[in-house]
Amino acid sequence: MTTHLDTYKALPAAQQPEWPDAGARDEAIESLEKLPPLVFAGEADVLRERLAQAASGHAFVLHGGDCAEIFAEVSADRIRNKLRTILQMAVVLTYGASQPVVKMGRIAGQYAKPRSSNTETRDGVTLPAYRGDAINAFPFTAEARKPDPWRMVEAYHRSSATLNLARAFTTGGFADLRFVAEWNRGFVANPAFARYEEIAAEVDRAISFMAACGADFDALKAVEFFAGHEALLLDYERALTRIDSRTGAAYDCSAHFLWIGDRTRDPEAAHVELLSKVRNPIGVKLGPAAQPGDVLRLLDRLDPEAQPGRLTLITRMGAGHVRTLLPPLVRAVQGAGRTPVWMCDPMHGNTIAFGGYKTRRFDDIMAEVKGFFEVHRDAGTIPGGLHIELTGDDVTEVLGGSETIDEEGLARRYETLVDPRLNHQQSLEMAFQVAEMIRGHRG
Q: How far is the CB of 346 from ligand PEP (least distance, A)?
A: 11
Minimum CB distance to ligand PEP smaller for 105 or for 287: 287
Q: Do 421 and 389 form a contact (C-beta atoms < 8 A)?
A: yes
Binding residues for ligand PEP, how many (CB under 6 A)?
Answer: 12
* Residues 344-363: x where in contact with ligand PEP by CB under 6 A, - otherwise, as a string: -x--x---------------
Residues 384-423 that bind ligand PEP (CB under 6 A): 419
CA 108 to chain CA mean position, Å = 11
Beta bridge partners of 63: 104, 387
Question: Would you count residue 370 as binding ligand PEP (CB under 6 A)?
Answer: no
Minimum CB distance to ligand PEP smaller for 69 or for 345: 345
Residues 39-78 that bind Co ion (CB under 5 A): 67
Per partner kind, with CB cut-offs from 5 to 8 A, the member of Co ion, ligand PEP, none near residue 50 is none
* Distance, CA of 89 to CA of 101 (rounded, Å): 10
Residues 173-232 that bind ligand PEP (CB under 6 A): 230
Question: Would you count residue 131 as binding ligand PEP (CB under 6 A)?
Answer: no
Minimum CB distance to Co ion smaller for 45 or for 419: 419
Per partner kind, with CB cut-offs from 5 to 8 A, the member of Co ion, ligand PEP, none near residue 37 is none
Q: How far is the CB of 88 from Co ion (least distance, A)?
A: 22
Question: Would you count residue 317 as binding ligand PEP (CB under 6 A)?
Answer: no
Of 1, 173, 93, 108, residue with least CA distance to 384: 93
Minimum CB distance to Co ion smaller for 227 or for 330: 227
Per partner kind, with CB cut-offs from 5 to 8 A, the member of Co ion, ligand PEP, none near residue 127 is none
Per partner kind, with CB cut-offs from 5 to 8 A, the member of ligand PEP, Co ion, none near residue 151 is none
Question: Would you count residue 114 as binding ligand PEP (CB under 6 A)?
Answer: yes
Residues 307-346 that bind Co ion (CB under 5 A): none
Question: Would you count residue 262 as binding ligand PEP (CB under 6 A)?
Answer: yes
Per partner kind, with CB cut-offs from 5 to 8 A, the member of ligand PEP, Co ion, none near residue 25 is none
Q: Of 65, 132, 147, 261, which lies in the binding site for ligand PEP, with binding defined by CB under 6 A?
A: 261
Q: How far is the CB of 307 from Co ion (least distance, A)?
A: 28
Secondary structure of the chain in HEC code, one letter for each residue: CCCHHHHHHHCCCCCCCCCCCHHHHHHHHHHHHHCCCCCCHHHHHHHHHHHHHHHCCCCEEEEEECCCCCHHHCCHHHHHHHHHHHHHHHHHHHHHHCCCEEEEEECCCCCCCCCCCCEEEECCEEEECCCCCCCCCCCCCHHHHCCCCHHHHHHHHHHHHHHHHHHHHHHCCCCCHHHHHHHHHHHHHCHHHHHHHHHHHHHHHHHHHHHHCCCCCCCCCCCCEEEEEECCCHHHHHHCEEECCCCCCEEECCCCEEEECCCCCCCCCHHHHHHHCCCCCEEEEECCCCCHHHHHHHHHHHCCCCCCCCEEEEECCCCCCHHHHHHHHHHHHHHCCCCCEEEECCCCCCCEEECCEEECEHHHHHHHHHHHHHHHHHHCCCEEEEEEEECCCCCCCCECCCCCCCHHHHHHCCCCCCCCCECHHHHHHHHHHHHHHHHHHHC
Question: Would you count residue 365 as binding Co ion (CB under 5 A)?
Answer: no
Question: Would you count residue 237 as binding ligand PEP (CB under 6 A)?
Answer: no
Of 33, 32, 225, residue with least CA distance to 134: 32
Q: Do 231 and 269 form a contact (C-beta atoms < 8 A)?
A: no
Q: Length of the chain, please?
A: 443
Minimum CB distance to ligand PEP smaller for 43 or for 262: 262
Q: How far is the CB of 281 from Co ion (least distance, A)?
A: 20
Question: Would you count residue 419 as binding Co ion (CB under 5 A)?
Answer: yes
Q: Of 316, 376, 421, 424, which lies in the binding site for ligand PEP, with binding defined by CB under 6 A?
A: 316
Q: How far is the CB of 230 from ligand PEP (least distance, A)?
A: 6
Question: Would you count residue 330 as binding ligand PEP (CB under 6 A)?
Answer: no
Strand 250-252, strand 257-260: pairing: unpaired
Positive or negative CA dihedral for 112, 117, 122, 125?
positive
- Residue nearest ligand PEP, CB atom distance: 261
Question: Would you count residue 57 as binding ligand PEP (CB under 6 A)?
Answer: no
Per partner kind, with CB cut-offs from 5 to 8 A, the member of ligand PEP, Co ion, none near residue 316 is ligand PEP
Binding residues for Co ion, how many (CB under 5 A)?
Answer: 2
Name the site residues for ligand PEP (rule: CB under 6 A). Answer: 67, 114, 230, 261-263, 285, 287, 316, 345, 348, 419
Name the site residues for Co ion (rule: CB under 5 A). Answer: 67, 419
